């Protein structure tokens, strides 16, 4: 095996990326009336979109299925080989079937397509050979032809699978827009993980788990220190008797106060506190709280509603939930 210099490695990688980028760019001319018909067929079906393929195209089919399901278009994956060995029963009468293949001539596909045609389902062929069996026997044809693979031998599916993937993404995004699929819908379909939390987790879900440090405006320095220490949030709110927010005192405020020449025995909370602290409403998204913390380079926010003090949300709460 010939040694390859670091310069050759980089140039080969860049060449691969460029070739695949060219393949994607060529798809612009393939977004035609057939693409529009495919989207409309999927949009208006009363069934699901069944996507099939074999080899690397089957892997792309699975990814497109996952994207469609997560964006509001019901889809299932059917491996072409399994389909002709018993799994064809997955296809229901009202389903639309999309078959993905570069060559459009795979033996399994040549067996599968006539069977689906006999069922009467609409067939969408996503194919890289417009003269193939798949192209000629599909009701709708999506052209994903590439001039060559990024593979040096023009054999391994590289540019072709990238083109298939991007065509699938284009379909999914268009269908999202047609369905009016928004961030609230996305949150319902992605309740787990960081992505879901960014879309549905609210400040009220977090701050209520914390202590609620608070002192009155006339509290002594000792009372302030004890409250901050006891509640372990590095801060205490300063309120009046009606729990209305007057200000906050942080660890940093205490340190700055101690650097000054003051008579500690007479210091009260109202003299130390920061008025007009940064606040957030309980119904705000937790990710909005994170944005404020980053913007102002602070670690806590006061949660309040109509100037009524409710509690504290801390940076640690957001770390714990995996938002950082």
**CATH number of the domain that residue 176 is part of:** 3.40.50.10490
State whether the Cα torsion 127-132-137-141 is positive or negative.
positive
Assess if residue 192 is contained within a domain: no
Look at residue 262 in the predicted model and tell me its pLDDT: 65
Q: What pLDDT is stored for residue 1 in this prediction?
A: 47
The verdict on 144 and 222 lying in the same domain is no
Domain boundary among 181, 196, 214: 181
Give the CATH number of the domain where residue 221 resides: 3.10.580.10
- Output the CA torsion 63→68→69→73 (10° steps): -160
Range(s) of the domain holding residue 295: 204-320
Same domain, 146 and 294: no
Q: Is residue 134 part of a domain?
A: yes
The answer on whether 316 is annotated among ligand-binding residues is no
Burial of 257: CB neighbours in 10 Å, binned 0-12, 13-18, 19+: middle
Place of tokens 């040694």: 3
Greatest pairwise CA separation for the chain in angstroms: 93
Mark whether 137 and 222 lie in a shared domain. Answer: no
Answer yes or no: do 85 and 149 share one domain.
yes
Residue 45: the pLDDT is: 95
**Buried/exposed code over 53-71 (b: 16+ C-beta within 10 A; e: otherwise):** bbbbbbbbbebbbebbbbb
Average pLDDT per 10 consecutive residues for the chain, totaling 324 residues: 66 93 95 97 96 96 94 92 89 96 95 94 97 97 94 89 97 92 65 64 93 95 93 94 95 84 79 93 93 94 96 92 80
269 within some domain: yes
276 and 215: one domain? yes
Per DSSP, 132 falls in state S
Same-domain check for residues 62 and 28: yes
pTM equals 0.65
In this structure, the answer to whether residues 101 and 174 fall within a common structural domain is yes
For the chain, the residue count is 324
pLDDT score of 261 = 58
Do 299 and 175 fall within a single domain? no
- Rounded Cα distance between 236 and 200, Å, is 28
Q: Is 292 part of any domain?
A: yes
> Residue 264 falls within a domain, yes or no?
yes
Indicate whether 249 and 173 sit together in one domain.
Answer: no
List, in sequence order, the alpha helices (H) in the chain: 6-26, 33-44, 56-70, 80-83, 107-119, 133-136, 159-179, 183-189, 193-200, 204-207, 221-231, 251-258, 269-272, 286-296, 315-320
230 and 146 both lie in a single domain? no
Alpha helices by DSSP H, 45-156:
56-70, 80-83, 107-119, 133-136
According to DSSP, the β-strands at 49-53 and 75-79 are parallel
In a domain, 196, yes or no: no
Residues 137 and 39 occupy one common structural domain? yes
Q: How many domains does the chain have?
A: 2
Compute the chain's Rg from CA coordinates: 30
Does 241 reside within a domain?
Answer: yes
Residue 265: the pLDDT is 76
8 A C-beta contact, residue 273 and residue 247: yes
Tokens (6 digits) for 324? 């950082």
Structural domain contains residue 186 = no
Pair 305, 231 in one domain:
yes
């Amino acid at each position: 095996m010939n040694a390859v210099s670091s310069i050759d490695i980089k140039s080969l990688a860049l060449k691969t990326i460029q070739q695949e980028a060219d393949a994607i760019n060529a798809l612009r001319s393939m977004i035609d009336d057939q693409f529009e018909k495919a989207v409309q067929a999927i949009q208006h079906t009363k069934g699901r979109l069944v996507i099939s393929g074999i080899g690397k195209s089957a892997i792309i089919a699975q990814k497109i299925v996952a994207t469609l399901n997560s964006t509001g278009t019901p889809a299932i994956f059917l491996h072409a080989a399994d389909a002709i060995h018993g799994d064809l029963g997955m296809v229901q009468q009202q389903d639309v079937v999309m078959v993905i293949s570069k060559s459009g001539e795979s033996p399994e596909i040549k067996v599968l397509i006539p069977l689906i045609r006999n069922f009467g389902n609409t067939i969408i062929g996503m194919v890289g050979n417009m003269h193939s069996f798949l192209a000629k026997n599909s009701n709708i044809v999506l052209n994903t032809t590439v001039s060559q693979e990024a593979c040096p031998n023009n054999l391994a599916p590289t540019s072709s699978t990238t083109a298939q993937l991007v065509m699938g993404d284009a379909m999914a995004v268009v269908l999202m827009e047609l369905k009016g699929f928004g961030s609230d819908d996305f949150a319902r379909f992605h309740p787990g993980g960081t992505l879901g939390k960014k879309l549905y987790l609210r400040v009220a879900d977090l701050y209520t788990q914390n202590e609620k440090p608070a002192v009155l405006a006339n509290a002594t320095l000792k009372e302030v220190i004890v409250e901050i220490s006891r509640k372990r949030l590095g801060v205490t709110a300063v309120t009046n008797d009606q729990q209305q927010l007057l200000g906050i005192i942080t660890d940093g405020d205490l340190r700055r106060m101690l650097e000054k020449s003051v008579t500690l025995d007479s210091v009260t909370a109202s003299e130390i506190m920061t008025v007009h602290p940064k606040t957030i409403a309980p119904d705000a998204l937790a990710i909005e709280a994170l944005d404020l913390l980053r913007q102002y380079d602070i670690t806590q926010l006061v949660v309040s509603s109509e100037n009524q003090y409710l509690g504290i949300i801390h940076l640690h709460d957001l770390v714990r939930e995996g938002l950082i």
